Amino acid sequence: MAQVSMTVNGTAASGEVEGRTLLSSFLRDTLEMTGTHVGCDTSQCGACTVHVNGTLVKSCTMLAMEADGAEVSTIEGQANADGSLNVIQQAFQDHHGLQCGFCTPGMVMTAAALLKENPKPSEAEVRTYLEGNICRCTGYHNIVKAIMAASGQDVAAIAAE
Amino acid sequence: MPKDGGIGASSKRREDVRFLTGNGKYTDDINLRGQTYVHFLRSDIAHGTISSIDTTAAAAMPGVIRIFTGADFEGVGGIPCGWQVTDKHGDPMQEPAHPVLAQGKVRHVGEPIAAVVAETAAQARDAAEAIELDIAELPAVVDMKAALEDGSTKVHDDLTSNLCYDWGFVEENKGAVDKAFEEAAHVTSLELVNNRLVANPMEPRVAVGDYDKSSDDSTLYTTSQNPHVIRLLMGAFVLGIPEHKLRVVAPDVGGGFGTKIFHYAEEAFCTFASKQLNRPVKWTSSRSEAFMSDAHGRDHVTKIELALDAENNFTALRTETYANMGAYLSTFAPSVPTWLHGTLMAGNYKTPLIYVNVKAVFTNTVPVDAYRGAGRPEATFQLERVVDKAAMELGVDPIALRRQNFITEFPYATPVAVEYDTGDYHGTMDKLEEIADLSGFEARRKESEAKGMLRGLGVNCYIEACGIAPSNLVGQLGARAGLYESATVRVNATGGLVVMTGSHSHGQGHETSFAQVVAEMIGIDESMVEIVHGDTAKTPMGMGTYGSRSIAVGGSAMVRATEKIINKAKKIAAHLLEASEGDIELKDGAFSVAGTDKSVAWGDVTLAAYVPHNYPLEDIEPGLEETAFYDPANFTYPSGAYACEVEVDPDTGKVTIARFAAADDFGNIINPMIVTGQVHGGIAQGIGQALLEGAAYDENGQLLTGSYMDYAMPRADDLPFYSVDHSSQTPCTHNPLGVKGCGEAGAIGSPPAVVNAVVDALRSAGKDVTHIDMPLSPARVWDAMN
């Protein structure tokens, strides 16, 4: 067992881990931050996506020890300071971009990374960027729409019901 | 002008806030004091005799608390099947035992053999690897037709063969159907496969068993669509725990799509082991385990024949289907290829004579049961494919052929035992032609051809049966359960309401749309209504959510309970207003005396009910809480018309969905935003089935598609924006909301549209292609072209 320390959503966090402990397990089991979900074991579904030092990472694919000293952002840290939904979260609610909610944390974290890299993505760019995130409920229509809306684009014109 | 609340409003979902902020509470988020973890050692061979299980080394591993094997479950009931089908000779289906942990033999890859309980999940996993297992491998039975040949290896030694049942429907009609085929002017026949799918809700299954020694109560937290059904099946048939000592909780559940309806061995194990060990026992499925332990869906092989007269009227339909049951009967497996499939074979058409034969077959594969649509996609796919092929053979327009044969008068009794109450099939087709801009197709085809791509158009209709009922009928059909739904409406003194429903939400947004209904009935703000579901300790006995039944059956129960509340509240209001009860009107959350300006607010009446100082105690009890159980008189029958346009790359066979449109008739709509989302999701799953998904076994029964690396889930860049319309509405005639259900429609209506479109595209290039089996991978399409 080894001690790891990191900053999670701006707060110092530490705990004992095995060498094989994944970052996703450290967040969920050690820190009891269960907003990050695990939907597969082959790094395909993206439900566990977080940001590590500003980079999009599937937390089931990174060892907790690799994140020692890192700045980690998770879904729990995305809302505005007053607790209200941030622009992306609000767009997901406004455009019904989630149903069961299980893939949603990964989708929101991925959308945040996309909009940081590309503030006005096209439909095709959004769809390509979401390749590593699987949603089984929405058929992606409203997720793509929500992300484009969050980027300030007029989605009523491009995505009829 | 869209409404901003109540029935018909696109109210934003209240559950979204917790899901968007990481505050959802899914079963895997539950951790209990003293919790242990179980890892299941699963069979990696499809069929074999267990010679020995040596747990000595494993038991000595760090953290191991106890290792269970089949021997620990001798005398414990097996996993029950909830539906008994009677075959065409009047005999019951063959029903094998289904042990919690393998007893002597393994019958599919993934079958649990031993269970290691340890202090941590990693320790349990490590120890499971140290179990010495000796299994003598037997030949595996994978192909259904081979499984029925004389001399085939039997999946179950104690059964007479691998045939579960041979079902004929309607058996008495068979002679007349055969005669109609002899007299037909034209017969179109088609052999096809409805590919085996894995439901793949994004949340893998989880179970946490928690035994409380002080009260002798057991609690199971589980990822279920129907916690009461699990409580009944597990308590009464597996573990022998009376329902009053067993609580089942299904909290936030991350999607179900059918595969979380069923009672699974892992649920029974965790509940059982928690009592044995007097500690909570938790199991979290990996995705790899899910692929080999969640019940799969579809997997039919069908021959369908359509008879037409000289004027192209459909005169008879005849089908023969082989339906895979897998190695054991999952909870509702026998009902899917029979009563949820045969009864839908009339589709939208007035075909007067229909005969459906289904042979259900045991194989050494994971059990197969209901997956989104459950029987109805299988019916729709074969019917809409054979109609398209008939149009092709006859050289007529496929839409015109459909329209010519549409049922137009309702109620309509089909020759397959159901009566459609309402519908407007021309109306939905008209709407489809408009929203899909079918008149612009030829111009779009030319544009595609200019790019070197083949473009095809596929159109089809569907009919669905939702809210399966009434209970006394389904009992005659073999259901070992009722199919009502329940609701308790508890009004608090200050006027807020809690509605406890037997339905279960796992993505459908019930907490929002159910509140809209009750708020509308009383005339109060939606925020005053709280919806509680998913806990047998809180909600009345309910049957849960599947088969698009929640609003049609669960919503109706809620309406009935709320009506009782309003009736009682009117009595109280009449007393407070010193008026006759018959003169009391409820509007916008206030009771008034008709024709006067006397009124009393909702909150004053509810307060009087609980603080009954000025109250007719001699006539009515204090309090304001009512329960209703609603058992529908009939199914509901949503219907629609779907159109898909594809582009096919002639060099590679790759299919791209260029446009997709769906025109549905769901009757009345509670929340249009949620309904549209349900259709989107269904379409994606239907396109997934048509183009990408397929569970594959090799001849030894090895599951070749055991992860997302090799089972192709639809991703965002596989799919287009969809055009969805549900303005064509013929309200259901027999439930109080006039609603029909919308959860499965997309998955039912879309696969034939995609295949019809690809066949059309290839034929536009002069290829003599009449059918390609799903999934339409580039390799299959290229093969068909070349």
Which tens digit of pLDDT belongs to each residue from B680-691? 999 999 999 999
Contact assignment for A128 to B122 by CB distance below 8 Å: no
CA distance A142 to B684: 12
Please tell me the predicted confidence (pLDDT) of residue B91. Answer: 97
Residues B754, B781: Cα–Cα separation, whole Å: 13
Interchain CB distance below 8 Å, A99 and B202:
no
Verify whether the Cβ–Cβ distance A45 to B708 is below 8 Å.
yes
Q: Span A130-134, mean pLDDT?
A: 97
Mean pLDDT of B68-94: 95
Q: Which amino acid is at B476?
A: Q
Sheet holding B206-212, edge to edge: B64-69, B112-118, B36-42, B281-284, B206-212, B217-222, B246-249
Residue B625, beta-bridge partner list? B490
CA distance B540 to B501: 7
Length of chain A counted residue by residue: 161
H or E element in which residue B229 lies: helix B227-232
Q: Cβ(B605)–Cβ(B572) under 8 Å? A: yes
Interface of A with B in 48-67 (CB under 8 A): none
Is the confidence metric ipTM above 0.90 for this complex?
yes
Among B465, B174, B172, B418, residue whose Cα is nearest residue B316: B174
Given a cut of 60, whether residue A159 has pLDDT beyond it is no
For residue B75, what pLDDT is reported?
85
pLDDT digits (tens, 9 = 90+) for B630-643: 999 999 999 999 99
The answer on pLDDT for B1 being more than 90 is no
Name the phi and psi angles at A17, rounded to 5. Answer: -135, 155
pLDDT of residue A130: 98
The rounded percent of chain A whose pLDDT value lies above 90 is 96
Q: Which residues of B touch A29 (CB under 8 A)?
A: 31
**Cis, peptide link before residue B731, omega less than 30° from 0:** no
Q: Does A40 touch chain B (CB under 8 A)?
A: yes
**Nearest chain A Cα distance for residue B2, angstroms:** 15
Tell me the shortest Cα–Cα distance from A10 to chain B, in angstroms. 16
What confidence tier does A89 reach under pLDDT thresholds 50, 70, 90?
very high
For residue B33, is pLDDT > 90?
yes
Q: What is the mean pLDDT of chain B?
A: 97
Provide the 8-state DSSP code for B784: H
The whole-number average pLDDT for the span B14-37 is 98
Give the distance from residue B212's alpha carbon to the nearest chain A alpha carbon, in angstroms: 24
Please tell me which of the candidates A96, A103, A140 has its beta carbon nearest to residue B673.
A96
Query: What is the mean predicted confidence (pLDDT) over A107-117?
Result: 98
Q: What is the mean pLDDT of chain A?
A: 96
State how far residue A33 is from chain B, nearest Cα, in angstroms: 8
- Residue B690 Cα, gap to closest chain A Cα (Å): 14
Distance CA A113, CA B395 (A): 53
Structure confidence at residue B295 (pLDDT):
98
Q: Which residues contact B634 (CB under 8 A, 6 or more apart)?
A: B419, B421, B469, B470, B734
Residue A160: pLDDT over 60: no
CB atoms within 10 A of CB B306: 26
Statement: residue A161 has pLDDT above 80:
no
Q: Which residues of B touch A122 (CB under 8 A)?
A: none
Task: Tell me the pLDDT tens digit for each residue of B331-374.
Answer: 999 999 999 999 999 999 999 999 999 999 999 999 999 999 99
Nearest to B740 by CA among B519, B409, B526, B423: B423
The confidence band for B2, taking pLDDT boundaries of 50, 70 and 90, is low
- State residue B469's pLDDT score: 85
Contact (CB<8Å) B507/A101: yes
Residues 133-152 of A with CB under 8 A from B: 133-145
Is residue B400 classed exposed, middle or buried when 0-12, 13-18 and 19+ CB atoms within 10 A define those classes?
Answer: exposed
The pLDDT of B119-144, averaged and rounded, is: 98
- Which secondary-structure segment (H or E) carries B420? strand B419-420
Question: Are residues A96 and B253, on separate chains, in Cβ contact within 8 Å?
Answer: no
Helix, strand, coil % in chain A, rounded to nearest 5:
40, 15, 45
What's the distance, Cα to Cα, between the start and end of chain A in Å?
A: 53
Per-residue pLDDT averaged across B237-254, rounded? Answer: 97
Cα B481 from chain centre:
16
Q: Are B98 and B78 in contact (CB under 8 A)?
A: yes
Question: pLDDT tier at B3 (50, 70, 90 boundaries)?
Answer: confident
pLDDT tens digits for B135-157?
Answer: 999 999 999 999 999 999 999 99
Q: Phi and psi dihedrals of B664, rounded to 5? A: -115, 150
For the segment B448-458, the average pLDDT, to the nearest whole number, is 98
Nearest to A102 among B26, B257, B714 (CB): B26
What are the pLDDT digits (tens) for A4-56?
A: 999 999 999 999 999 999 999 999 999 999 999 999 999 999 999 999 999 99
Q: Is B756 left (phi over 0), alpha (psi -120 to 50) or beta?
A: alpha
Q: Would you say residue B126 has pLDDT above 50?
A: yes
User: How high is the pLDDT of residue A157?
Assistant: 73
Residues 6+ apart with CB under 8 A from B134: B50, B51, B52, B53, B54
Write out pLDDT tens, residues B157-179: 999 999 999 999 999 999 999 99
**Contact B444/B640 with Cβ under 8 angstroms?**
no
Predicted pLDDT at B84: 97
B35 burial level (CB within 10 Å; 0-12, 13-18, 19+): middle
- Residue B16's closest CA among A101, A158, A60? A101
- pLDDT bracket for residue B668 (50, 70, 90): very high
pLDDT at B227 over 80: yes
pLDDT tens by residue, B721-746: 999 999 999 999 999 999 999 999 99
Tens-digit pLDDT profile for residues B97-106: 999 999 999 9
- How far does the CA of residue A20 sit from the closest CA of chain B (Å)? 9
Q: Which amino acid makes up residue A113? A: A
Q: Are B107 and B327 in contact (CB under 8 A)?
A: yes
Cis previous bond, B758, omega within 30 = no
pLDDT of A158: 64
In terms of Cα–Cα distance, which of B326, B266, B334, B322 is closest to B295?
B326
List pLDDT tens digits, range B381-394: 999 999 999 999 99
- pLDDT at residue number B4: 82
* Mutation to test the A interface, candidates B17, B21, B257, B679, most A Cβ within 10 Å: B21
Task: Encode burial over B54-93: b for 16+ CB neighbours within 10 A, e otherwise.
Answer: ebeebeebebbbbbbbbebbeebbbbbbbbbbbbeeeeeb
Q: What are phi and psi of B75, to 5 degrees?
A: 90, -10
For CA atoms B674, B677, B682, B685, give the dihedral sign: negative
Q: How far is CA A22 from CA A43, A67, B30, B292, B616, in A?
A: 12, 10, 19, 24, 65
Nearest to A76 among B15, B22, B707 (CB): B22
All residues of chain A having their beta carbon less than 8 Å from the beta carbon of residue B203 are 37, 39, 100, 102
Between CA B133 and CA B293 the distance in angstroms is: 20
Q: pLDDT by residue (tens digit) across B511-569? A: 999 999 999 999 999 999 999 999 999 999 999 999 889 999 999 999 999 999 999 99
Q: How far is CA B640 from CA A18, B21, B119, in A?
A: 55, 37, 53
